[in-house]
Amino acid sequence: MEKILDRFLRYVAVDTQSNEESESQPSETKELNLLRMLRDELQAMGVEATLDEWGYVMASIPSNIDRKVPAVGFIAHVDTSPDASGANIKPQIIPDYDGSDIPLKGVPGLLLKTSEFPELLAHKGETLVTTDGTTLLGADDKAGVAEIMDTVQYIMAHPEFKHGPVKIGFTPDEEIGRGVVKFDVARFGADYGYTMDGGDVGELEFENFNAASASVHIQGSNVHPGYAKGKMRNALHIAQEFDALLPVSQRPEYTQDYEGFFHLISLKGTVEEAQFSYIIRDHDRAKFEQKKQVIVQCADFINARYGAGTATVTVKDQYYNMREQVEPHYHVVEKAVKAMEMAGVKPRIQPIRGGTDGANLSFRGLPCPNIFAGGLNFHGKFEWVSLQSMEKAAAVIRNLISLYASGGSA
């Protein structure tokens, strides 16, 4: 029986960083290295598992009870964020954490400080896994992967454990918004699902942002600066002007809870032309639609000021708030609350200030709340996870399986 920590450390050693510039699926072939490992490990445990052409691992454990109960699925993504390196990860293991600042030894002087990350103090006495400061850790979402695989190992080693049909799914490219674009919900075969992709212990989420991307192109006009008066239109300055039209108070660094935002994520260009991108987020659908319209109105203002065709905006919806799809099946949330309580965890229902594969799955007929995986400070060098939180997450999965097995028919 492999311990969950050892399993997690094996998985984070595999570089699976996805690539938003790629048009292929998976976006990087290196993601398949871990996906193949997972398929092979599932098969070695006696579980029917496949890896399809799009990089989806799907596995199924048949029911061992003699009545019809819902099939419940558990899903996690293998890719890590493009925001920080996912290669050559060197985890630090801190047993019996004492509540002090943690040196990240790969970068002299860099500390994981309790003054900046006070949630560390809630995990005194636990075993923490951090980065060494040179990469991200990969707890998002290899903690979830390890928790699901730990549960599969438990089920296969304990035939006396009663369960209905259990479905397992591992996906690529979640971090770039394409995690379940080609995921075959019907073939997966679950009636209800849970993504193990949340943060700190106790988190339970069934509502998320509505999300869109906006790509803006500014066409300037470059002439020799010595003779530019009345002729030059500097695309970089116009891009700055465009950004200044958006409300400063609706940037991510000034928002929380249910407040949405405009987030400038890239900017490149020259005097002649500039290209920049935003992500647009809001939990409220009407406010979300209004934010998209504001971006378009900014382009209209720029074009009225500098001439038609100066600013071109392309807005694309990415995903929507799953609440409207999950609430009609609210028992999936209630079961998760009960499963946490059975594991000695206090549930904290809160909105996701982001998105998960579960949002898109919910809109495709698989109600799919999100459960904590135990990690914090995702996507960067300060990422860390508690071993005890991972163990509790695995216990929550087992409890959910038991609750569905003891319930009524699908």
Among residues 222, 217, 171, 167, the alpha carbon closest in space to that of 197 is found at 171
- Which H helix or E strand runs over 405? helix 387-405
Among residues 200, 193, 172, the alpha carbon closest in space to that of 359 is found at 193
253 part of the active site = no
Q: Which one from 41, 79, 150, 207 is the annotated catalytic residue?
A: 79
Which two tokens mark 236? 């970089």
Place of tokens 């971090």: 175
Phi, psi (deg, nearest 5) at residue 281:
-140, 140
- The C-alpha atoms of residue 293 and residue 238 are separated, in whole angstroms, by 19
- The C-alpha atoms of residue 63 and residue 89 are separated, in whole angstroms, by 38
Distance from CA of residue 22 to its chain's centroid? Answer: 18
**For the chain, what is the total number of helices (H) and then of strands (E)?**
10, 18
Q: Which one from 15, 140, 173, 174 is the annotated catalytic residue?
A: 174
- The C-alpha atoms of residue 354 and residue 208 are separated, in whole angstroms, by 6
Which two tokens mark 387? 């071993």
Contact predicate 141/47, CB 8 Å: no
- The C-alpha atoms of residue 286 and residue 258 are separated, in whole angstroms, by 13
* SS3 assignment, position 283: coil
257 part of the active site = no
B/e letters for 122-135, b = 16+ CB within 10 Å, e = fewer, are ebeebbbbbbbbbb
What is the SS3 string spanning 206-220?
CCCCEEEEEEEEEEC
- The C-alpha atoms of residue 83 and residue 252 are separated, in whole angstroms, by 16
What are the residue numbers of the active site? Answer: 79, 174
